[in-house]
Structure 1
Amino acid sequence: MSMNRRQMLATSAAALALGGSLRPARAAGVSAGEIVVGTHLDLSGPAAAGMPALRNATELALAQANAQGGIHGRQVRLIVEDNGSQPQLAVRAVQKLIRSDEVFALLNPFGSGTNAATIGAAVEAGTVVFGPWAASAIMHQVAGGSPLLFTTVQNYNTTTERALNWALPEWGSQRVGVIYMEGPFGDLIRAGVTPALAAAGLSVTEEAAYRPGDIDFSSQVARMRAANVDTIIAATITRETVGVMAEIKRLGWDGVKVLTAIPGRSTVVARLGGADTEGLYGVGGWRLHGEDTTDTDAQAFIAAYREAYDAVPDENAANAYSYTNWFLNSLRAAGEDLTTDSFVEGARATAHNDFTTYSEQSFVENHAMPEMVSVDRIENGVWVPQTEPF
Structure 2
Amino acid sequence: MKKSQIKKWLYPLAVASLVMLSACGGGAQPAGTSGGGSTGGEQPAGQAQPAAESSKEPIKVGAIFSLTGANSPLGVPEKQAVELLLKEINEAGGVDGRPVEIIFEDDKSDNTEAVKAIKKLVSKDKIVAVLGSSGSGPSLGMAEFAAAEKLPMISMAAADQVTNPVRAGIFKTPHTDVHGTKRIFKYLQEKGITKIATLNDSNPYGSGWTQQIQKYAPEYGITIVAEEKYGTKDPSMSSQLTKIKGTDAQALIVAGTNPAPATIVKEAKQLNLGIPIISSHGSANSKFLELVGDAGEGVLMVAGKLLVPDQVDANDPQAAIIKKFVDGYKAAYNAEPDGFAGYGYDGLNLLVEGLKQAGGDASKLGEVLEKVNYVGVTGEFKFSAEDHNGLTEDSMIMVEVKDGKFQLLK
What is the TM-score with the length of structure 1 in the denominator?
Answer: 0.81
The secondary structure found in structure 1 opposite 2:373 is: coil
Residue by residue over 1:331-374, the C-alpha shift from the partner in whole angstroms, topping out at 9 and shown as x without a partner, is 111114x131x2123212322114442x4633452423341232
Q: Distance in 2 between matches of 1:50 and 1:354?
A: 18
Q: Distance in 1 between matches of 2:220 and 2:386?
A: 31
- Of 282, 291, 296 in structure 2, the residue corresponding to residue 263 of structure 1 is 282
* 2:344 equivalent to 1:325: no
Could you tell me which residue of structure 2 aligns to residue 245 of structure 1? 265
The secondary structure found in structure 1 opposite 2:81 is: helix
The secondary structure found in structure 1 opposite 2:366 is: helix
Could you tell me which residue of structure 1 aligns to residue 297 of structure 2? 278
Q: CA deviation at 1:33?
A: 1.9
Q: CA deviation at 1:76?
A: 1.2
Higher relative contact order (CA 8 A, sep 6+): 2
Across the aligned residues of Structure 1 and Structure 2, the Cα RMSD in angstroms comes to 2.5
Letter in 2 for 1:108: G
Aligned pair in 2 of structure 1 residues 301, 203: CA closer, same or farther (>3 Å)? closer
Q: Distance in 2 between matches of 1:306 and 1:183?
A: 32
Q: CA deviation at 1:171?
A: 3.2
Could you tell me which residue of structure 2 aligns to residue 178 of structure 1? 198
Q: Distance in 1 between matches of 2:377 and 2:106?
A: 29
* 2:404 equivalent to 1:381: yes
- Of 73, 83, 89 in structure 1, the residue corresponding to residue 107 of structure 2 is 83
Could you tell me which residue of structure 1 aligns to residue 23 of structure 2? none
Identity over aligned pairs, percent: 23
Aligned pair in 2 of structure 1 residues 292, 327: CA closer, same or farther (>3 Å)? same
- Of 336, 341, 345 in structure 1, the residue corresponding to residue 367 of structure 2 is 345
Q: Distance in 1 between matches of 2:344 and 2:381?
A: 17
The secondary structure found in structure 1 opposite 2:93 is: coil
The secondary structure found in structure 2 opposite 1:39 is: strand
Could you tell me which residue of structure 2 aligns to residue 28 of structure 1? none
* 2:227 equivalent to 1:203: no
CA contact (8 A) 1:157 1:190 kept: no
Q: CA deviation at 1:231?
A: 0.9
Indicate the larger mover: 170-179 or 284-293: 284-293
Could you tell me which residue of structure 2 aligns to residue 161 of structure 1? 182
The secondary structure found in structure 1 opposite 2:212 is: helix
The secondary structure found in structure 2 opposite 1:72 is: coil
Q: Distance in 2 between matches of 1:69 and 1:386?
A: 42
Q: CA deviation at 1:32?
A: 4.3
* 2:254 equivalent to 1:230: no
Letter in 1 for 2:247: A
- Of 366, 376, 382 in structure 2, the residue corresponding to residue 361 of structure 1 is 382
Could you tell me which residue of structure 1 aligns to residue 212 of structure 2? 192
CA contact (8 A) 1:289 1:298 kept: no
Give the number of equivalent residue pairs.
Answer: 349
Q: Distance in 1 between matches of 2:84 and 2:238?
A: 40
Letter in 1 for 2:258: T
CA contact (8 A) 1:173 1:231 kept: yes
Residue by residue over 1:312-349, the C-alpha shift from the partner in whole angstroms, topping out at 9 and shown as x without a partner, is 3223223321232122111111114x131x21232123
Q: Distance in 2 between matches of 1:68 and 1:216?
A: 50
Could you tell me which residue of structure 1 aligns to residue 68 of structure 2? 44
Q: Distance in 2 between matches of 1:288 and 1:140?
A: 24
Letter in 1 for 2:227: E
Residue by residue over 1:40-59, the C-alpha shift from the partner in whole angstroms, topping out at 9 and shown as x without a partner, is 22222112133221110011
The secondary structure found in structure 2 opposite 1:229 is: coil
Q: CA deviation at 1:196?
A: 4.0
Q: CA deviation at 1:181?
A: 1.6
Q: Distance in 1 between matches of 2:287 and 2:134?
A: 16
Q: Distance in 1 between matches of 2:125 and 2:80?
A: 21
- Of 125, 129, 140 in structure 1, the residue corresponding to residue 163 of structure 2 is 140
Aligned pair in 2 of structure 1 residues 382, 301: CA closer, same or farther (>3 Å)? same
Could you tell me which residue of structure 1 aligns to residue 98 of structure 2? 74
| Superposed counterparts of 1:30-41, under 5 Å | 32-41=56-65
CA contact (8 A) 2:66 2:134 kept: yes
Letter in 2 for 1:376: V
The secondary structure found in structure 1 opposite 2:193 is: coil
Indicate the larger mover: 54-63 or 311-320: 311-320
Q: Distance in 2 between matches of 1:268 and 1:84?
A: 18
Aligned pair in 2 of structure 1 residues 312, 236: CA closer, same or farther (>3 Å)? same
Aligned pair in 2 of structure 1 residues 202, 65: CA closer, same or farther (>3 Å)? closer
Residue by residue over 1:222-277, the C-alpha shift from the partner in whole angstroms, topping out at 9 and shown as x without a partner, is 22223353211111123222111111123333x31111123233343224322222
Structure 1, gaps ≥5 residues long: 1-30
CA contact (8 A) 1:50 1:268 kept: no
Could you tell me which residue of structure 1 aligns to residue 11 of structure 2? none
What is the TM-score with the length of structure 2 in the denominator?
Answer: 0.77
Q: CA deviation at 1:378?
A: 1.5
CA contact (8 A) 1:119 1:129 kept: yes
Q: CA deviation at 1:151?
A: 2.1
Q: CA deviation at 1:71?
A: 0.8
